[in-house]
Structure 1
């Protein structure tokens, strides 16, 4: 059985290495959609793939926003169609598939029937705030399981033979309600959304600002991020360790419990794991606001550019210089201009970043790869062109043959007409012959009668004169 995980990630440098190393102890291969992180996430993935040859498949999203539902279903189709996965496990980077009572989940996964999909409930771990970097082995406590009312799904590929499978946003279910499902009690999703005070402040603040800036996204879906944002505003940024722990206990749960009792000891089990040494994971930064400030600056710049573009279009409309079609074209041009400015801004940030050399090298590798592919495509194009020329040539030959066939059919038709005509004449000749034969027979008969007559004798031939 080929077991695959699928994930969409962005800015997860503190946990991505643990995520990959842990899951490859029982998952065969991983499909990862990387959302153009501006931290070390992508570089860590490249090192795991290129240097250590781990079986991960990395795809980078385009820089324009793509809905979560579309991305995760694309990843599902990649695992299903490109790699023939038998079982697919959608996971966020802060989610780790574990056995309920410890041990390797592989045996449970291999025994799952293919006629349904499975719900696996969260088990949310609480952060260890005094650690300089993230490690699974240091996770000791979980919140009360009664507060974890969310589940993720596991999908056997066999369902696609009978049903149309579309994963819902967040990978909590499948859209088609006719597909049977079952709660899988033997497994849990170890959910580790809050790992450090700095990480929490940065993640939740940027997440909230990003979501409310997205016109098409309902801010109510990010209500838990709004809680942390309001805490930061009301406390003027002075968040205590106790505040972070309590926030982690209530994270993304709509159930109301007393947070003082919502904590239980439950060490994270890595006893069955190999190759868990972290080589590329950085320590947590001492400043939680640098990324927030960078994101806020980009957000403000983008807003200003979009606002100016819209203002220019509106002025043209008020001046009567645009009709409806021109308006739509102007909006499109304005959007293109903003995207171009964003692209230029991102390039400037890359040139100023501390990873300038590494990223340029990655770009050069990608260019070399693209040139190689372009060369292969050119050779393939030449082959296809020659094949197309040969096809055209063969089509001409076939056309000539068809014309000759038509010509021969006309000749055959004329011959057939001539044969019919000759057959008619032969029939007439035959009828004439038959008549001649009949008359000949009559003459013979008459002659015989004349010879046999006794009254008729020829004694002397008749001579004239």
Structure 2
């Protein structure tokens, strides 16, 4: 049986991390997490699950800005060279592997393709959700009725010269895209929004990450899906914060299909109830504090950066 290693970027996902690991461990032989500086209980949960014997490793990155392509590509090389992968699956911390009849994913991998793509299926909040259910795939039982038209990537390990694109939707080989075959017996159940507060914090931090990375990331469209929600929060916050309906559901039942994931992870041992609004405020302030600290360090350590800021400070423009 081929060895499948997952690569997952993770940041402040303590509400879903344990369920994610317990479920997806039924499909993969090892999990590699690339933590981007979690400040909630995510790392505590990962340590506890590793101590239980679940096959996972955690690497922490130190840059708070956007560098997804190089990070993904490093993860692919690490899965191939350090963890002996035959195949590598790129899966975010809010995505759960789903297969026909819950068959092990390793039994469905093709013998004659360098890569496959699988459909992303979006689940979200409805008014029927039980807020006391901590296992996210059991709480969020309704999927969006429309197609996402988004695929995610699973590819053979050890392919020379491969880099992984932003979002893990495709891989590049030289100047072209690595050929990939769509696999209709596998999908990823996607739970990006577990509460209105959680998704607002994620969207705001996501766009600030892109801006902090400078021109290439902010203007190449890699994080464009964060931009509009961020601008709404910035320019018209009342449209969200005073809209109680926004926080109780993502879409109506007329737009949804009840199709719960066959969750394979069992009970949770380390996940705790949280207040979504309080957590969102804490996570956003923690993120912006780290961003400010890194900016300050750049000024302390780079004469060029210091000179540029001093130029900005000295500049005066008459506006009217």
TM-score range, shorter chain: 0.7 to 0.9
* CA deviation vs aligned residue, 1:227-262 (integer Å, no higher than 9, x gap): 32233341435253543577x56xxxxxxxxx8853
Relative to structure 1, the CA distance from residue 5 to residue 65 in structure 2 (aligned partners, 3 Å threshold; closer, same or farther) is same
Matched, 1:279 2:280: no
What CA distance in whole angstroms lies between the structure 2 residues aligned with 1:84 and 1:22?
A: 21
* CA deviation vs aligned residue, 1:187-224 (integer Å, no higher than 9, x gap): 11111110112211222222222322321422543333
Q: Equivalent residue of 1:71, what SS?
A: helix
Larger Rg, first or second structure (1 or 2): 1
Structure 1 residue 313: Cα displacement:
2.9
Of 86-95 and 208-217, more deviation after overlay is shown by 208-217
Please show how residues 114-129 of structure 1 align to structure 2 within 5 Å.
114-127=112-125
Q: Equivalent residue of 2:181, what SS?
A: strand
Matched, 1:155 2:158: no
Higher relative contact order (CA 8 A, sep 6+): 2
Structure 2 gap segments, 5+ residues each: 312-320
Aligned length: 297
What CA distance in whole angstroms lies between the structure 2 residues aligned with 1:307 and 1:81?
A: 37
What CA distance in whole angstroms lies between the structure 2 residues aligned with 1:290 and 1:315?
A: 29
What is the aligned partner in structure 2 of residue 397 from structure 1? none
What CA distance in whole angstroms lies between the structure 2 residues aligned with 1:9 and 1:123?
A: 19
Which of these residues, 209, 234, 240, is aligned with residue 243 of structure 2?
240
What is the aligned partner in structure 2 of residue 174 from structure 1? 171
What CA distance in whole angstroms lies between the structure 2 residues aligned with 1:118 and 1:312?
A: 47
Name the one with the larger strand percent.
2
What CA distance in whole angstroms lies between the structure 2 residues aligned with 1:200 and 1:282?
A: 19
* CA deviation vs aligned residue, 1:405-456 (integer Å, no higher than 9, x gap): xxxxxxxxxxxxxxxxxxxxxxxxxxxxxxxxxxxxxxxxxxxxxxxxxxxx
Structure 1 gap segments, 5+ residues each: 250-258, 318-465
What is the aligned partner in structure 2 of residue 76 from structure 1? 76
Contact 1:199–1:284 under 8 Å retained in 2: no
What is the aligned partner in structure 1 of residue 262 from structure 2? 269
Contact 1:198–1:284 under 8 Å retained in 2: no
What is the aligned partner in structure 2 of residue 184 from structure 1? 183
Relative to structure 1, the CA distance from residue 316 to residue 174 in structure 2 (aligned partners, 3 Å threshold; closer, same or farther) is closer
Structure 1 residue 281: Cα displacement:
1.4
TM-score, length basis structure 2: 0.80
TM-score, length basis structure 1: 0.57
Q: Equivalent residue of 1:210, what SS?
A: helix
Please show how residues 318-337 of structure 1 align to structure 2 within 5 Å.
none
What is the aligned partner in structure 2 of residue 417 from structure 1? none
What CA distance in whole angstroms lies between the structure 2 residues aligned with 1:241 and 1:188?
A: 32
Structure 1 residue 306: Cα displacement:
5.7
